[in-house]
Amino acid sequence: MAKAMTISYEVGENLYLNLTNKCPCACTFCIRNHADGAYGSDPLWLEHEPTLDEIIADLNKRKLKKYREIVFCGYGEPTERLDVLLETAAYLRSRENCPRLRINTNGLGDLIHGRSIAKELCYELDTVSISLNAPTEKDYMAVTRPKFDNAFEALQKFTKDCVKAGKAEVIMSVVDVIPPEQIEASRQLAEKLGAHLRVREFDD
């Protein structure tokens, strides 16, 4: 499998940050099952997890004002490296012309770290996008295949905690490969938790 140190990569008007390849899930539809990169990027499999200095050096090559958003999302779950994520966000905030900051997360950071992380994330970020994937625990576990038994419950608590924090926009997402009735049920669950639902296109 090809490996490279692709720390940042462009998708449309956004810049994505690839901090880790670690993830507690093995989603059936994960792009990692089909390709080494995403949306035409260089390979996103990391030779090692980039240090904060390496991330900053990479970002210093970019003109931040050209991007609509900077998104913490790569070939792993960004909250696996929570401290580096937060330090990177704080650094970006200190830069002139910093765009909006978003994380795409599976919402299991509380289980990864053994504590609530919602306030820390929402303090530094403008948008928290949480992968819901399915509207019921049975379907969620089948599709997402997390290593945690209580993942579906934890994801919902994390979402509510982010909404309660009040600073960041909170979005839940599903991929359009699930049936329309599941998409509608997901929309109802997201709204119940205080979030909005986004339906993402499956990228193969």
Domains of the chain: 8-200 (3.20.20.70)
For residue 151, pLDDT beyond 90:
yes
CA 114 to chain centroid, in Å, comes to 19
Once rounded to an integer, what is the mean pLDDT over residues 55-59?
97
Q: What is the pLDDT of residue 1?
A: 42
Cβ(109)–Cβ(82) below 8 Å: yes
- For 2-12, how does the pLDDT look when each residue is reduced to its tens digit (9 = 90+)? 444 899 999 99
Closest CA to 78 of 136, 37, 8, 17: 17
For residue 28, pLDDT beyond 80:
yes
